Amino acid sequence: MSLLEVKDLKVRVEEREILHGLSLTVNPGEVHAIMGPNGSGKSTLSHVIAGKPGYEVTGGEILFRGEDLLEMSPDERAAKGVFLAFQYPVEIPGVATMNFLHVALNAQRKARGESQLTTPEFLKKAYAAAASLNIPRDMLKRGVNVGFSGGEKKRNEILQMALFEPAVCILDEMDSGLDIDALRVAADGVNALRSQGRAMVVITHYQRLLNYIVPDFVHVMSKGRVVKSGGKELALELEASGYAQFEDAA
Amino acid sequence: MNVALVKNETGSALSDSFAIARDRLPGADKVAAAREAAFAAYAQAGLPHRRIEDWKYTDLRALMREVLPLAPAPDAAEFSRAASAAKLHAIEGVRRLVLVDGVFAPKLSELGGLEKGLGIRTLREVLETGDAALQTLLFTPDNANPMVALNSAMMTDGVVIDVADGVVLTQPLQIVHIASGTVPAAMFTRSLLRLGKDAGATLVESYIATEGAKAYQVHDSLIISIGNNSRLDHVRLNEDGRDAFNISSGVVSLGAHAHFNTFGMMSGAGVSRYQATIVFAGEGSRVETNGVNLLNGKQHADTTLFMDHAVPHCDSREIFRAVVDDRAHSVFQGRIIVRPHAQKTDAKMMTRALLLSDDAEADNKPELEIFADDVTCGHGATTGALDESLLFYLRARGLSEKEAQALLIQAFVGEAIESIVNDGLRELAIAAAQRWLEARG
């Protein structure tokens, strides 16, 4: 069974159709890149998979391990193993990062019928994950993403990926706002989490990120559809020729 | 219905009540005369209504309708229920002083082994046998505010605390108001804290009810006098029963280089109003007054603060947060006056309300009256709903809708709660907020 299957998905936002029948199949262990120009519907796809309110699905379906994902609340999806790394992680003043991570992990574990992690158990796990991502402990005491640099915010997203151990990670424009060094650190973090059972969907405008996170498959989106799919060489081809050819084709 | 008629009806019913209660009220001669004058002032004004600017949002004629008769003295069964309630809300390491249905309960209070320089008496005792100076201090508030006047007229008991010059108490004091009565009634209490020079104390006030307590009215007031170079930390937690009324007043005066840090949380009572007047009487003093309203159902809670910068070189900070759900109504009125000679005043006030339902209401009325020209003053007020993008982020991380809301509400009220200096009391306020969040389901 596929891990994630998007079938002929049609999505509207306020009367305007953004996705016009998009299909995508992701199997365990695979890394898929979704590329496309601004406004092609990449972020809409990531939001609909995660369950963000404000999108109306007018056709098609999304299955996660064969189950209807669209019937689930965002928190149910998270507990099942769907993770969205946000393009713009929000700042939550007054909620300490450590407390947030603990509450979230235990909420997911509770939903799966697993035991709750005590504070010492959690701290051990969190500090180990933070150390591997070069995240100082001081950062974990601050409010969630409050005063974090762009790179720190992205590393905080990857830290959550490491702690929650999701089955599918959707990385929405992970490279936006990062300089090359920050990008490398973030990509190293993601690569460390690649595994046989875990799939990743990397959404990006630029090919650059794919030098660091090398995909198995590349899909080109334009005007709400996947217009071309191929191997990692497709990304390089795009780098040379640009998106214009696909915009005409779509 | 015509207003004069309403006034007459409530006025006369209460006059009877006052006449009946008079013999039970402690104090003779001057005290009795002061009571008579206070009652006359109240009877003339009647219950405050919405056409009085200060009571615009809290129309007691509509919300309270009448002042209930004075509660009978508690019997053995009531004391026993109160004892259980006191135990349930006990705070470790705190000296507890308990009032049951408006009557001081020595058996439930801890009066032994008082620290040197700490004096504790009951209001009844002071009104009956106290010295004239203390009695005068007890009648500090004038009768301009009808609910304060009513309290002056009817006060039956309370706690009078004296902290001598140079004494810094190590153990916090707690005044616990417990309502236990099985018949609807009113209790009228007044307490006083006199802090000498170079002294320090921590005072907690709690309002709770026993199981089975009927709709009751709390009419309370607290008079605080803080001497030069002294510091008072004050926490007020209202967890009254849901059909209770609580009208409380604070009258605070600070000497020079004094510090008053106060925090109030209203999560109980059906209708409540806390009105405090804080007067800077000496230079170089500082006040932080912070509060949180956590309301749901049909609760109505009003916090009305009057900060009087009467002298130069004083600082005041007000941080107020309201979380309002269902059809509840939160009111914050903050008035700051900077008198003509009060140069170098630094006064700031920030109030924010979070509305959790379409029917919830929050009214913020900040007022600045500045008569000096070299001052730093500011205020801000915001009202809004929970941020959808924050809620989605938390839900995408596995928190249910209620869990995500709870975390954001805790963060919202956190800034006000963080201001409590004493670790134990801060934990207490956090626990009270958590109880409210858990009760939301």
Cα atoms in the 13 Å half-sphere on the side-chain side of A212:
20
pLDDT of residue B20: 76
**Contact between residue A243 and residue A210 where contact means Cβ atoms under 8 Å apart:** no
End-to-end CA distance of chain A: 30
- Is the pLDDT reported for residue B5 higher than 70? no
**Contact between residue B266 and residue B237 where contact means Cβ atoms under 8 Å apart:** no
pLDDT of residue B13: 64
Cβ burial of A216 (10 Å; 0-12, 13-18, 19+) is middle
pLDDT of residue A198: 96
The mean pLDDT value for B223-248 works out to: 96
Higher pLDDT, B213 or A52: A52
**Interval B323-340: pLDDT, tens:** 999 999 999 999 999 999
The mean pLDDT value for A220-241 works out to: 90
**CA B290 to chain CA centroid, nearest Å:** 12
| Of A201, A237, A224, A222, residue with least CA distance to A33 | A201
> What residues of chain B lie within 8 A of the CB of A105, using their CB?
398
B410–A contact, CB cutoff 8 A: yes
Report phi then psi at B340, rounded to 5: -50, -35
B120–A contact, CB cutoff 8 A: no
- Is the pLDDT reported for residue A9 higher than 80? yes
What is d(CA B407, CA B306) in angstroms, rounded to the nearest whole number? 32
Query: Cβ A103–B395 below 8 Å, yes or no?
Result: no
| Of A249, A218, A219, residue with least CA distance to A232 | A218
The mean pLDDT value for A82-109 works out to: 96
Query: Cβ B399–A107 below 8 Å, yes or no?
Result: yes
**CA B207 to chain CA centroid, nearest Å:** 9
**3-state class of B201 per DSSP?**
strand
DSSP B10: H
What is d(CA A18, CA A11) in angstroms, rounded to the nearest whole number? 6
Shortest alpha-carbon distance between residue A72 and chain B (Å): 11
Higher pLDDT, B200 or A139: B200
What is d(CA A102, CA A79) in angstroms, rounded to the nearest whole number? 14
Q: What is the DSSP string of B135-198?
A: HHHHT-S-SSSHHHHHHHHH--B-EEEEE-TT-B-SS-EEEEEEE--SS--EEEEEEEEEE-TT
Outline where DSSP puts E strands in chain A.
4-13, 16-26, 31-35, 56-64, 67-68, 82-85, 92-96, 143-144, 168-172, 199-204, 217-222, 225-230
pLDDT of residue B101: 95
- Is the pLDDT reported for residue B9 higher than 80? no
pLDDT of residue B12: 59
- How does residue A245 score in pLDDT terms, banded at 50, 70 and 90? confident
What is d(CA B216, CA B19) in angstroms, rounded to the nearest whole number? 20
pLDDT of residue B88: 87
- How does residue B3 score in pLDDT terms, banded at 50, 70 and 90? very low
DSSP-derived pairing of the beta strands A4-13 and A56-64: antiparallel
The mean pLDDT value for B198-213 works out to: 94
- How does residue B1 score in pLDDT terms, banded at 50, 70 and 90? very low
What is d(CA B21, CA B38) in angstroms, rounded to the nearest whole number? 15
The mean pLDDT value for B95-109 works out to: 96
**A20 Cβ contact partners less than 8 Å away, ≥ 6 residues apart:** A10, A223, A224, A225
pLDDT of residue B439: 83
**Interval B61-88: pLDDT, tens:** 999 988 998 898 899 999 999 999 999 8
**What is chain A's length?**
250
The mean pLDDT value for B17-38 works out to: 87
Shortest alpha-carbon distance between residue B246 and chain A (Å): 31
Query: Cβ A51–B395 below 8 Å, yes or no?
Result: yes
Identify the bridge partners of residue B197 per DSSP, sorted by sequence position: none
- How does residue B10 score in pLDDT terms, banded at 50, 70 and 90? low
Query: Cβ A104–B399 below 8 Å, yes or no?
Result: yes
What is d(CA A109, CA A111) in angstroms, rounded to the nearest whole number? 5
Q: What is the DSSP string of B293-359?
A: EEE-TT-EEEEEEEEEE-SSS-EEEEEEEEEE-TT-EEEEEEEEEE-TT-TT-EEEEEEEEEE-STT
**Contact between residue B177 and residue B147 where contact means Cβ atoms under 8 Å apart:** no
**Interval A128-161: pLDDT, tens:** 999 988 888 899 999 999 999 888 999 999 999 9
Mean pLDDT value across chain B: 93
Q: What is the DSSP string of A61-105?
A: EEEETTEEGGGS-HHHHHHHTEEEE-SSPPPEEEEEHHHHHHHHH
The mean pLDDT value for A32-58 works out to: 94
B430–A contact, CB cutoff 8 A: no
**Contact between residue B277 and residue B251 where contact means Cβ atoms under 8 Å apart:** yes
Shortest alpha-carbon distance between residue B99 and chain A (Å): 37
Shortest alpha-carbon distance between residue B2 and chain A (Å): 50
Q: Give ipTM to 2 decimals.
A: 0.96
| Of B25, B51, B50, B47, residue with least CA distance to B36 | B25
**B44 Cβ contact partners less than 8 Å away, ≥ 6 residues apart:** none
**Contact between residue B339 and residue B370 where contact means Cβ atoms under 8 Å apart:** no
Both tokens assigned to B21 = 């209660």
- Is the pLDDT reported for residue B22 higher than 80? no
pLDDT of residue B92: 87
DSSP-derived pairing of the beta strands A168-172 and A199-204: parallel
By Cβ distance, the residue of A74, A100, A143 closest to B396 is A74
Nearest CA in chain B to A48: B396
- Is the pLDDT reported for residue B159 higher than 70? yes
| Of B133, B155, B152, residue with least CA distance to B142 | B152
Shortest alpha-carbon distance between residue B392 and chain A (Å): 6
**Interval B391-438: pLDDT, tens:** 999 999 999 999 999 999 999 999 899 889 888 889 889 988 988 888
Query: Cβ A89–B396 below 8 Å, yes or no?
Result: no
Report phi then psi at B167, rounded to 5: -100, 120
**3-state class of B205 per DSSP?**
strand
CA angle, A30 then A79 then A36, to 5°: 40
Q: Which amino acid is at B44?
A: Q
Query: Cβ A74–B403 below 8 Å, yes or no?
Result: no
Cβ burial of B107 (10 Å; 0-12, 13-18, 19+) is exposed
Nearest CA in chain B to A92: B390
pLDDT of residue B7: 44
pLDDT of residue B55: 96
Query: Cβ A108–B398 below 8 Å, yes or no?
Result: yes
